[in-house]
Amino acid sequence: MPIGFAFFGKNNPVSWNYETVPQKEFEKELVAQPVQEVVDSAGGTHKVEAESLEHRKGFQPRGKTLGGSSSINAMLYVRGHKWDYDHWSQLGNEGWSYEEILPYFKKAEHNEMFDNNYHGQDGPLNVSKIRHENQPVKDFVKSGSEIFGFNEDFNGEEQEGIGFYQCTQKDGKRCSAAKAYLVPCLERDNLTILTDTNVNKIVIENKKAVGVECIDKDGNYYILKANKEVILSSGAFGSPQIMLRSGVGPRDEINKHGIEHLHELPGVGKNLQDHIDYLTVHKYDSIELIGMSLRSILFKFPIEIFKIYFRKSWSFYFNCC
């Protein structure tokens, strides 16, 4: 995990800083300590009242900048499991089987490590191996491999096992969706980028999307009309929100917010599924790993800063395994 990721917490100007609603299934633990701030798996914090039976909330950082969450995440390149895509196809979603979407994964990717049936070489999104593999991480992978088996490529034929992550990085630096797709096109005459601007809803006429209603940083509303098509690509959180505000989705959910219902689509805003993380904290006496200690700050940090300039290998930037 890149150092500093845990500090992409609340009040971050480039994140929407969402929280899940408290839910009893999430965690049932009696907290006997005084009021405190608890750090969750995504690096966010929330307040826990004294002597409370905590129905813990989850912090959900979402990118509020060009590139979206790919500009603030941990830079891990992990595709969804083959079974998930095949299941979507079996449910009637034509074109969503693993074999059908694999060409698009390959088209998007420039993989520095693999050139085979599962990876591409000519895409804009750069995928690289970890440039900093310290001995404790190697030992962890070796130990885990003896139990679960070593997997060289989580995005290849088999996704289970122990191994090193692939990262969306180029030359040791983040390669976000904005860096990969937007930056190379900045000089195009037919491209206009509006920052500090949000899409409120899709403008729909006769069941056809004809434009979008936007809000600028001063709260002013205006409409952009489309000549050909409107592409909705705002992520797993943002796209359903825009659809619901546009009147597309479950009638009861839309009507209770005073929005005109235009099209019944029951699944919108439902069945969100997120990956599961399990993090543990251990004390480690050596400064070989990055940690917030006086020894690490005085002796480790200067070495790592030197590395980024001369070797493009800085452990502050990298994920472990």
Flag whether 236 is in a domain: yes
Residue type, 5: F
The pLDDT value recorded for residue 54 is 52
Total domain count for the chain? 3
* C-beta atoms surrounding 95 within 10 Å: 8
Residue pair 197/217 in contact by the 8 Å Cβ criterion: yes
Distance CA(35)–CA(47), nearest Å, equals: 7
Average pLDDT per block of 10 residues along the chain, 321 residues long: 50 81 59 53 53 61 90 91 95 96 98 96 95 82 94 93 93 92 95 95 96 96 96 94 98 96 95 76 71 66 67 53 49
- Specify whether 82 is located in the same domain as 175: yes
Helix (H, G, I), strand (E, B) or coil at 216: strand
229 and 251 inside one domain: yes
Q: Which two tokens stand for residue 231?
A: 């592409």
Which CATH number do you get for residue 158?
1.10.1220.110
Q: How far, in Å, are 208, 209, 242 from residue 228 at the CA level?
A: 11, 10, 19
* Phi then psi dihedrals of residue 308, to 5 deg: -65, -30
On whether both 91 and 26 belong to a single domain, the answer is no
Q: Chain-centre distance of CA 179, in angstroms?
A: 15
Rounded to whole angstroms, how far apart are CA atoms 142 and 150? 8
CA distances to 57, 149, 176, 280 from 182, in Å: 34, 39, 9, 37
192 lies in some domain: no
Q: Which domain holds residue 260?
A: 197-264
- C-alpha 297/C-alpha 299 separation (Å) is 6
Q: Which residues lie below 8 Å from residue 114, measured CB to CB, with a gap of 6+?
A: 153, 156
The DSSP line for 250-277 is -HHHHHTTTPPP-EE-TTTT--------
Same domain, 116 and 253: no
On whether residue 63 sits in a domain, the answer given is: yes
Count Cβ atoms below 10 Å from residue 230 Cβ, excluding itself: 16
Q: Which residue has the tokens 């489309």?
A: 226
CB atoms within 10 A of CB 302: 10
307 and 177 inside one domain: yes
Same domain, 86 and 179: yes
Residues 180 and 282 in one domain: yes
Residue 117 lies in a domain: yes
Cα–Cα distance for residue pair 98/89, rounded to 1 Å: 9
Q: Answer whether residue 260 is part of any domain.
A: yes
Same domain, 118 and 94: yes
